[in-house]
Amino acid sequence: SYRLAWVGSDEAICHIGTSLHKVPLARLQEMYLLLGYNRWELLEVIRILGPFPNVRNTLKGDVKLSKLSGEREGVRTNISYTSMIDGTGKEILAGEEVNVKNVELDVWFANEEALVCTTPSEDGSDPFAIDGTNILYFVREENLDEELEKLRAA
């Protein structure tokens, strides 16, 4: 599992997540990523201001990979979110194809310790030539269950 350690902009977070942290009195506390064989699971821990518990949303999806062409070597990750488990624990299935959220993410570096990803550029330009607003940096999370307990989102 990985934890989102740094991101260049809120738009990059919204590109892969639910964007529910944008509602009034809500703040994104942490974001975790679990990867499996052709599977992607994104956990968002959102803090609601006031005497309310933290909320954990879990997005689950299928992954398809394709090699990127250009000067840099990378992989285009196509994620199809097919279900979401909301803060109450209820699973919401996409059902029809029209409800599936499809997201593209370019992976430039990946090992057991870290992932460096970018949201795809619209014009196909070098993703690192701009100001970094499209970059997402994930680091290895040793004990995800313990961290979720600390955030009261287990």
Run means of pLDDT, 10 residues per run, the chain, 154 residues: 95 91 90 94 93 92 90 90 90 85 94 95 76 93 92 84
pLDDT of residue 126: 78
**What pLDDT score was predicted for residue 121?**
81
* β-bridge partners, 110: 115
pLDDT at residue number 122: 78
Q: Which distant-in-sequence residues (6+ apart) come within 8 Å of 78 by Cβ?
A: 63, 64, 65, 66, 102, 103, 104
- Joined together, the tokens standing for residue 150 give 């600390």
* Cα–Cα dist 97/51, whole Å: 38
Contact residues for 143 (Cβ-Cβ < 8 A; gap 6+)? none
Total-model pTM: 0.91
pLDDT, position 21? 86
User: Looking at residue 6, what is its pLDDT?
Assistant: 96
Q: Please, is 143 exposed, middle or buried when counting C-beta atoms within 10 Å of its C-beta (0-12, 13-18, 19+)?
A: exposed
